[in-house]
Amino acid sequence: MTVRLRAHHLLCMLTYVGRGYSPAFTANFDRIVSRLNAGESLLVVEGPDDICRPLLNEQPQPHCLEARVKKRDARAATALSRWLDLSVETGRLLHPDRKLITRMRSAFAEGKTRQACLGCEWQSLCTRIADNAYTESRLGDAEDPPRPSSVPARVR
Ligand code: SF4
């Protein structure tokens, strides 16, 4: 199995602590993170992805379909490709092992890939998670299993 993610969600997965837009959204995100932690690969897709799916079912006009979110994907893909020497394009298969996640997290913490976050309501939370060395994040990898989060779900 492969997890399908749009480009800017390659950043969001780094800071995921169990918070999100709805119970279904966080439950689904938890399952995706568990799959990644178990070693599944990532496929870069265009538009709504596996993380978006609950919102597509819950909301008549989910933000996942908006042009500004597609621009966020483009900015994320450009920054990740530049700073990680990684071609992040639609159809690209990635293997998010410890080395790649560490590189992505370093670039994010240094602000190199944060152009994609402009205008996002979660910015302060994601900055705090990065500033705290991602210790609260639920994303680990197959060699470094997820840490239990002390942050209750759905509390922002
Ligand atoms: S600020 Fe928004 S776009 Fe950036 S990583 Fe956090 S949730 Fe994702």
SS3 3: strand
Q: How far is 19 from 125, CA to CA, in rounded Å?
A: 10
DSSP 92: -
The pLDDT value given to residue 145: 52
Mean pLDDT by 10 residues, the chain (156 residues): 96 97 96 96 97 92 93 97 91 94 96 95 97 95 49 33
Which secondary-structure segment (H or E) carries 36?
A: helix 23-37
Instruction: Please choose from 70, 123, 131, 156 the residue to mutate so as to test ligand 1's pocket, defined by most ligand atoms within 8 A of CB.
Output: 123
| Residues in the ligand 1 pocket, defined by CB under 6 Å | 8, 11-12, 15, 116-117, 120, 122-123, 126
The pLDDT value given to residue 24: 96
Give me the half-sphere count of Cα atoms (radius 13 Å) on the Cβ side of residue 101: 28
Strands (E), the chain: 2-6, 41-45, 93-94
Phi, psi for 3 (deg, rounded to 5): -85, 130
Name residue, tokens 């370093």.
106
- For the segment 22-32, what is each residue's pLDDT rounded down to a tens digit? 999 999 999 99
Q: Is 74 buried (19+), middle (13-18) or exposed (0-12) by CB count in 10 A?
A: middle
Asked if residue 98 lies in contact with residue 110, where contact means CB atoms within 8 angstroms, the answer is no
Question: Which ligand 1 atom sits nearest the alpha carbon of residue 123?
Answer: 1
Instruction: Please choose from 117, 132, 134 the residue to mutate so as to test ligand 1's pocket, defined by most ligand atoms within 8 A of CB.
Output: 117
Please name the residue whose Cα sits nearest to atom 4 of ligand 1. 117
Name residue, tokens 């302060």.
124
